[in-house]
C-alpha cells in the first residue's frame, strides 16, 4: 500500500464525508481520517439538520437518511422566569419530500454519510487522530507547502497532494497552518444538551404532532444571567433540551452548565413538556458562534478548511444552522481539490476557487448578510432586557383588568420600556441592526 494518496480528509463529520464523497467520485484516491471509533461518535448537535445540499450528492437522500423527525412545527420563544411568549409556526409542507429540517442523532447521521464516502471509494480509517501537518521539506516548518498529515499511530505519516481539514471547532490543523489570525474565547459558545427518554405517544401528545412530525423550539432568555439561548426539540422517543451559553459569561458566573439546564427544565413553560423524561445522555460541545467575525483564511498551500473548522456556523437567532454549511463547504472543498489536483496546482493560488465558490453561494452570502446578527442576539439587551419587556407588554395587553378600561398599546409599551430600563436610542439602534440583518 503506497504511503501517498491524492486527498486526505481529516474528520468524518458532514463536511469531511461530503468532501470525501466528491473527491472519491471524481476518481481520486481519498483517505478519510476519524479520531472516534466510528464516524459521528464524537459529534453532537443541538439543532436541526437542513440537508437540502445533499440533493446533488445523494438523490432522494431523505428516503434513506437516518433521521428522527421532520420538523413541521417551529417555535421561537421569549422566556422569562414566569412568562413565555411564543411565535409558533407549523406547516404540512415540511412533512413531505423534499422536507425542510430534521432532527437526527449525529452518530447515526454522520455514520450514514461516511458510509456513502466509503461506497464512493474513500478509505475511512477510524480511531486515528491527526496530530499535525507535514510540510514540504523545501520550505520551513511554518511556511512550506502542506504535503500530508501526521497521525497518532506508529509510522503514522501519510502524504497527499491535498489536505482538507474538517476537524471541527477549535481546528488544530487550521491553527497550525496559521489560518486563524487570533482566537478569542468570546467568539465561542458552549452547547450543552440533555436527551430525555419519553414514550413516543407521550411526545406526540405533548407537542401536538404525529408520526414523523417533529417540533423545534428555540428559546431566547431562560439562561439566567448568562447570555445564550435554549432549545427543545423532539426525536422519535426522546426529547433534547439544552442551552447554548456564551463562554465568557459562563466563566464569570461560575455556574456549571448543567445547573443552567436544570433551571430551564424547571421553568413552567418547559417543565410540562419533559416531565418524567429519563436522562439518557448529557453532552456538550463548543460552537464557533461569531460568524464572519471569527472566520479564518480557508486556504493554505496544499490545504482547505471546511465546516466548523472554518467557523461556518450560523447563529443568528431565528436561523440556527451548521450542518448545512458543513455539507456545502465540504462539497466545495472536494470540488476545489479535484480541480486543483487535475490542474496540478495545489498552492493557495490553485485552491482559490474554494473561496469563490463559497462567496457566490449561500455559504458566505448568508454569513455576510447576517454578520451583525450573532453579536446582536447575544447582546446584553436582547438577552436580559427585551424578553421581560416584551413579555410584560403581552401580559398587560391580554390582561382584562376590569373595571379599569383597556390601556392603549403605545402607552403600555412606553411604560414597559421605561420599567425595563431600555433607552429609546438603544432600542432604535438594535431595531436598525436587526432590520439591516434580517430585512
Partner 1 sequence: MTVVVCLKWVHDAAQPDDVRFGAMSPADHSALELALQCGEWAHADVTAITVGPAQADHILRDALACGVRRAVRIETSHAVSGADVAAAIAAVVADAHWVWCGDYSIDNGSGSVPAFLAAALAARQALGVIHLSFGDAPTIDAGVIEATRRLDGGRREVLEVRAPAVVSVEGATAHLRRAGLTALRTAAAAAIEVIRIATPTRVDDCVVQQYRPRARELAGPDGVSALARVLSLTGAGGARGAASARRTVVLDPLDAAGRILTELREWGYRT
- Which of the residues 37 through 56 are near partner 1 (CB under 8 A)? 37-38, 41
Closest CA to 194 of 66, 74, 315, 280: 280
Query: Nearest approach, Cβ of 337 to partner 1 (angstroms)?
Result: 20
Smaller CB distance to partner 1: residue 4 or 91? Answer: 4
Which helix (H) or strand (E) element contains residue 251?
A: helix 247-253
Smaller CB distance to partner 1: residue 3 or 275? Answer: 3
Give CA–CA dist 12/24, Å, rounded.
Answer: 14
Binding partner 1 (rule: CB under 8 A), the pick from 120, 125, 202, 279 is 125
Per DSSP, 49 falls in state B
Q: How many residues bind partner 1 (CB under 8 A)?
A: 19
Output the CA torsion sign for 222, 388, 228, 377.
positive
Query: Nearest approach, Cβ of 250 to partner 1 (angstroms)?
Result: 32
Beta bridge partners of 305: 165
Residue that has been written with the C-alpha cell 463536511 in this structure = 15
The answer to whether 3 contacts partner 1 (rule: CB under 8 A) is yes
Smaller CB distance to partner 1: residue 111 or 336? Answer: 111
The site string for partner 1 over 132-171 (x = CB under 8 A, - otherwise) reads -------------------xxxxxxxx-------------
Give CA–CA dist 276/262, Å, rounded.
Answer: 14
**What does the block give as the cell for 314?**
450560523
Query: Nearest approach, Cβ of 123 to partner 1 (angstroms)?
Result: 6
Output the CA torsion sign for 119, 120, 122, 127.
negative
Query: Nearest approach, Cβ of 307 to partner 1 (angstroms)?
Result: 22
Whether residue 7 contacts residue 28, with contact meaning beta carbons closer than 8 Å, is answered with yes
Smaller CB distance to partner 1: residue 12 or 311? Answer: 12
- Which of the residues 55 through 114 are near partner 1 (CB under 8 A)? 107, 111
Query: Nearest approach, Cβ of 275 to partner 1 (angstroms)?
Result: 29
Query: Nearest approach, Cβ of 42 to partner 1 (angstroms)?
Result: 13
Closest CA to 162 of 18, 299, 363: 299
Query: Nearest approach, Cβ of 282 to partner 1 (angstroms)?
Result: 20
The answer to whether 272 contacts partner 1 (rule: CB under 8 A) is no
Smaller CB distance to partner 1: residue 3 or 184? Answer: 3
Closest CA to 39 of 147, 131, 149, 119: 119
**What does the block give as the cell for 413?**
409599551
Contacts with partner 1 by CB under 8 A lie at 1, 3, 31, 37-38, 41, 107, 111, 123, 125, 128, 151-158
Amino acid at each position: 500500500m503506497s504511503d501517498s494518496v491524492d486527498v486526505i480528509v481529516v474528520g468524518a463529520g458532514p463536511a469531511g464525508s461530503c468532501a470525501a464523497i466528491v473527491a472519491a467520485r471524481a476518481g481520486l484516491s481519498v483517505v478519510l481520517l476519524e479520531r472516534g471509533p466510528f464516524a459521528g461518535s464524537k459529534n453532537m448537535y443541538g439543532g436541526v439538520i437542513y440537508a437540502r445540499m445533499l440533493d446533488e450528492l445523494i438523490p432522494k437522500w431523505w428516503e434513506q437518511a437516518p433521521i428522527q423527525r421532520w420538523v413541521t412545527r417551529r417555535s421561537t420563544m421569549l422566556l422569562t422566569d414566569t412568562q413565555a411568549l411564543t411565535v409558533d409556526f407549523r406547516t404540512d409542507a415540511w412533512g413531505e419530500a423534499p422536507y425542510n429540517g430534521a432532527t437526527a442523532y449525529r452518530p447515526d447521521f454522520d455514520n450514514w454519510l461516511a458510509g456513502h464516502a466509503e461506497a464512493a471509494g474513500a478509505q475511512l480509517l477510524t480511531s486515528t487522530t491527526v496530530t499535525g501537518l507535514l510540510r514540504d521539506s523545501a520550505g520551513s516548518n511554518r511556511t512550506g507547502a502542506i504535503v500530508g498529515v501526521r497521525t497518532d499511530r506508529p509510522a503514522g505519516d501519510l502524504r497527499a497532494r491535498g489536505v482538507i481539514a474538517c476537524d471541527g471547532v477549535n481546528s488544530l490543523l487550521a491553527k497550525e497552518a496559521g489560518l486563524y489570525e487570533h482566537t478569542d474565547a468570546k467568539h465561542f459558545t458552549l452547547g450543552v444538551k440533555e436527551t430525555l427518554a419519553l414514550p413516543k405517544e407521550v411526545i406526540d401528545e405533548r407537542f401536538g404532532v404525529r408520526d414523523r412530525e417533529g417540533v423545534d423550539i428555540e428559546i431566547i432568555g431562560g439562561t439566567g444571567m448568562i447570555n445564550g439561548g435554549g432549545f427543545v426539540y423532539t426525536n422519535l422517543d426522546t426529547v433534547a433540551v439544552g442551552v447554548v451559553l456564551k463562554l465568557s459569561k459562563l466563566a464569570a458566573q461560575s455556574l456549571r452548565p448543567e445547573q443552567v439546564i436544570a433551571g430551564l427544565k424547571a421553568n413552567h413553560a418547559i417543565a410540562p413538556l419533559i416531565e418524567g423524561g429519563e436522562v439518557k445522555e448529557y453532552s456538550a460541545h463548543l460552537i464557533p458562534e461569531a460568524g464572519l467575525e471569527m472566520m479564518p483564511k480557508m486556504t493554505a498551500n496544499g490545504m482547505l478548511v471546511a465546516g466548523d473548522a472554518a467557523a461556518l456556523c450560523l447563529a443568528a437567532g431565528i436561523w440556527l444552522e451548521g450542518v448545512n454549511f458543513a455539507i456545502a463547504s465540504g462539497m466545495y472543498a472536494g470540488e476545489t481539490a479535484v480541480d486543483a489536483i487535475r490542474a496540478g496546482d495545489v498552492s493557495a493560488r490553485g485552491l482559490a476557487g474554494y473561496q469563490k465558490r463559497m462567496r457566490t453561494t449561500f455559504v458566505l452570502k448568508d454569513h455576510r448578510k447576517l454578520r451583525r446578527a450573532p453579536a446582536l442576539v447575544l447582546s446584553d439587551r436582547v438577552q436580559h432586557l427585551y424578553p421581560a419587556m416584551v413579555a410584560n407588554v403581552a401580559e398587560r395587553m391580554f390582561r382584562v383588568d376590569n373595571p379599569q378600561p383597556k390601556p392603549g398599546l403605545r402607552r403600555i409599551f412606553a411604560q414597559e420600556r421605561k420599567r425595563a430600563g431600555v433607552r429609546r436610542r438603544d432600542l432604535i439602534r438594535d431595531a436598525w441592526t436587526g432590520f439591516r440583518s434580517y430585512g
